[in-house]
Structure 1
Amino acid sequence: MLTESRLRAAKAAPKPVKLFDGGGMYLLLHPNGSKYWRLKYRYGGKEKKLALGIYPAVSLKQARERRDNARRQLANGHDPSAERKAEQETDPECFEAVAREWFAKYSPHWAPSHSDKIIRRLERDLFPYLGSRPIKAINAPELLTVLRRIEARGTVETAHRVLQNAGQVFRYAVATGRAERNCAGDLRGALAPVKEAHYASVTEPKAVGELLRAIEGYQGDPVTRAALKLTPLVFVRPGELRQAEWAEFDLDKAEWRIPAAKMKSRVLHIVPLSTQAVTILKELHLLTGSGRYVFPGLRSRSRPMSANTVNAALRRLGYSKTDMTAHGFRSMASTLLNEQGWNRDAIERQLAHGERDAVRAAYNYAEHLPERRKMMQAWADYLEGLRIGSNVISFNARKQA
């Protein structure tokens, strides 16, 4: 039989350790120090396991009570795991039910990629440990134990994002009368700080020219090659590029209009197309124009190319993840356009950096558009000059001309 003193003194080992208490219940001690209550039992001739909570948020006494309750269910011919699942589906006040209700309410207003990430975090990192718990009964130490598990994987940024999502769920629970307070707010400063990361990028003009020549010589899939060539000319986010649809383009007007639903800022975004970009797209249209996506996947034309395609192509060209990334083309453009003296507001608008005032942003998607058209063509001409290695006239000189 376990004791509280033995539980507190238990030390992590290189491999998971089980400390048994009796009746099939044990404490699973992971190498990272996290401690999980489990119940091993047999039902229908098969061995099964039931999660009873996380120590110390769930004490030894509480774990035994949950074990005994599960044993009573078994004695009455019921599977505790199935009973737990049924409770989660019918109990509107358990964490999972509230979280799914919150997600269903707000996810229609998010970009698909954003909502996919959030539901994955909930289902992977929160539901297995807190899903069946009454949301009003969850306290800060219990939530912190779950977050420490994520930290132990070495994914500190994910831990912060999961805490943020948990806080949103708790606030929703408070607003709907199913919790009295947001315990996630008590964990401010409890997690290790996130080290600020920057996307690797090439910004020195000579190196940019070398990169563009490498792209020109890419020998892989022609659709991937087109994506590589177009990316520096439009410098949109990688997800916006790979999900581009032909219906969004007007090549006669030299314009790409990305719907608000696809944008991080949830605002329509206009991308003026240079003559070089239009040429690439017209050539690509011969290959993919009969389908929905400009850059369809290699395995299925009904889906866009994978998120890692452009990065994988850069690796194939000899650029490591510390040298250059697909997202790094945005840094390249921002750095060089600012150095060359273009209007900072025009650059920021073209980068589609978030507008704090959402209402204002919805009306200003075309802000600085004439200057942006001129800038995008000058940028394409500049890159072309770097690629062929000619003496390139600076942007300032072009603007004065």
Structure 2
Amino acid sequence: MPLTTKQIEAAKFGVSKERLPDGLGLYVRLYKSGTKTYETRVTCNDKRAWVQIGHFPDMSLKRARQIAGMVQIRIEEGLSLKQVRDALKAGDHSKIEDMVPASPGTVVIESLTFRELAKQWFDQKKLGLRNGKHIQQNWNTLETYIFPYFGDRPVTEVKVGDVIDAIRPIWHDKHETAKRVLGRVKEIFALAKIHEMRPDNPADFPPNTALGAVRKKTVHFGALPFEDIPALWEWLLTANCDEQTRHLVMLMILTAKRSKETRFARWDYFDMGTSIWTTPESLMKMSRLHRVPLSRQASAVLTNMRMLTGDAPFVFYKPKSKSRVICENAACNLLKKFRLGITAHGLRAGFRSWARKQGKYSHDAMEFALAHEQNSLEAAYQREDLIEERAIMMQDWADYVTGGANPLNFSPEESQK
């Protein structure tokens, strides 16, 4: 979020960060002496450099934003770093802004095109995203659906009708994509509004009114009815497949964990003394630590995997793989051999249906088992993850799936056959 004058006044060296980001390349630098200066970071001749703009509070925050925008634009157009710095030191901004109006109330950075502002937005946005594919989708969808319409037009000239014209071709045929793209465009114009480039947001309109309502179709993951999961387990025991893949699917069934959380599990996530598997926030979809109580059968699966991967850091270690773990499609491909249409995620749906059918486990216990997101009110009052209650539920589930038997133990010699 952009800085405010009060935030800058309250900032202290050694307490706050050395440089406070305002957005769009402007920073406020704090010095031990108490001095506070405006700086912008630029790229000149493929090298990054800091340019000091002025001092706070002698220069207003709004004026610093204007000059930061001018500096970046002029350097991109060919002014040297020395010319810019000399002009700023002399207080002569004419060399910087001679082609840009600087009358009171004019925001110089308005000359940015939508594509240029989108790049600024994307550079900030990707810092908060973890999935590489998702990060690239944010930019690729803008290139495909938005830039051909108004990517090279100044941010100030884009109107509501332009946004509607860009979204309309995909609104009904690719509705989910259209909603996400419209949301990204709305965020970009919100950034323009925050930085006083324009007073409105042309992407902020009721989409169903402008583009028409779309009948939603819920598409469920290919799930296996819970009544058939014991048959899947029996088939897994003797299926002709790689042992790591067999045990990957077994562990996913017994713990109701997602594929990514299971594939990237490390041995130090497991406490076999307490029979608890703890997945860190970095691997979780909701970015919250998740504990799973291990049933007797799940512990047996891990014992077998220890024989297979030995001292490797990952449970499902594949040294020749780029990710160093088993392929993300391994589980799905094996499940398709049992029955077409089943997905790894669908196994979780089978567990949830079984648990609900029993009528003896609390709603919270079932939701914690699946690491589903709670609403804000529930999260405020729920201080524990019901691990003891879930331990009983997960053991009951494992006994149902396996008929109470453990997976067959095997020796390292057998695993190599």
CA spacing shift, 1:382–1:243, aligned 2, 3 Å: same
CA spacing shift, 1:199–1:132, aligned 2, 3 Å: same
- Deviation at 1:230? 1.1
| Structure 2 residue 225 is the aligned partner of structure 1 residue 203 | yes
CA spacing shift, 1:133–1:299, aligned 2, 3 Å: farther
- Deviation per CA, 1:207-246: give whole Å up to 9, x if none: 2222222222332222211111111111122332233333
Secondary structure of 2:278's match? Answer: strand
Distance across 1 between alignment mates of 2:315 and 2:149: 42
Asked if the contact 2:292/2:387 (under 8 Å) is kept, the reply is no
Asked if the contact 1:208/1:386 (under 8 Å) is kept, the reply is no
Residue from 262, 268, 274 that aligns with 2:283: 262
| Structure 2 residue 349 is the aligned partner of structure 1 residue 328 | no
Give TM-score, length-normalised by structure 1.
0.63
Q: 1:329 is aligned with what amino acid?
A: L
- Deviation at 1:149? 4.5
| Structure 2 residue 202 is the aligned partner of structure 1 residue 168 | no
CA spacing shift, 1:249–1:386, aligned 2, 3 Å: closer
| Structure 2 residue 389 is the aligned partner of structure 1 residue 371 | yes
- Deviation per CA, 1:176-207: give whole Å up to 9, x if none: 333433322225112634421111212241x2
- Deviation per CA, 1:114-158: give whole Å up to 9, x if none: 545534544554456554333333333333343345458x43322
User: 1:249 maps to what in 2?
Assistant: 270
Asked if the contact 2:286/2:373 (under 8 Å) is kept, the reply is yes
Secondary structure of 2:179's match? Answer: helix
Residue from 278, 285, 301 that aligns with 1:280: 301
- Deviation at 1:99? 3.2
- Largest Rg, 1 or 2: 2
- Deviation at 1:328? 0.7
CA spacing shift, 1:169–1:213, aligned 2, 3 Å: farther
CA spacing shift, 1:366–1:219, aligned 2, 3 Å: farther
Residue from 365, 374, 392 that aligns with 1:355: 374
CA spacing shift, 1:367–1:94, aligned 2, 3 Å: same
Q: 1:214 is aligned with what amino acid?
A: W
Asked if the contact 1:212/1:387 (under 8 Å) is kept, the reply is no
Question: Identity, % of aligned pairs?
Answer: 30
CA spacing shift, 1:280–1:356, aligned 2, 3 Å: same
The count of residues paired between Structure 1 and Structure 2 equals 293
Distance across 1 between alignment mates of 2:127 and 2:204: 26
User: 1:42 maps to what in 2?
Assistant: none
- Deviation at 1:250? 2.3
CA spacing shift, 1:204–1:230, aligned 2, 3 Å: closer
User: 1:185 maps to what in 2?
Assistant: 204
Asked if the contact 1:314/1:325 (under 8 Å) is kept, the reply is yes
Secondary structure of 1:257's match? Answer: strand
Distance across 2 between alignment mates of 1:210 and 1:184: 52
| Structure 2 residue 262 is the aligned partner of structure 1 residue 223 | no
Distance across 1 between alignment mates of 2:304 and 2:322: 17
Asked if the contact 2:261/2:284 (under 8 Å) is kept, the reply is yes
Residue from 155, 158, 161 that aligns with 1:141: 161
- Deviation at 1:304? 3.5
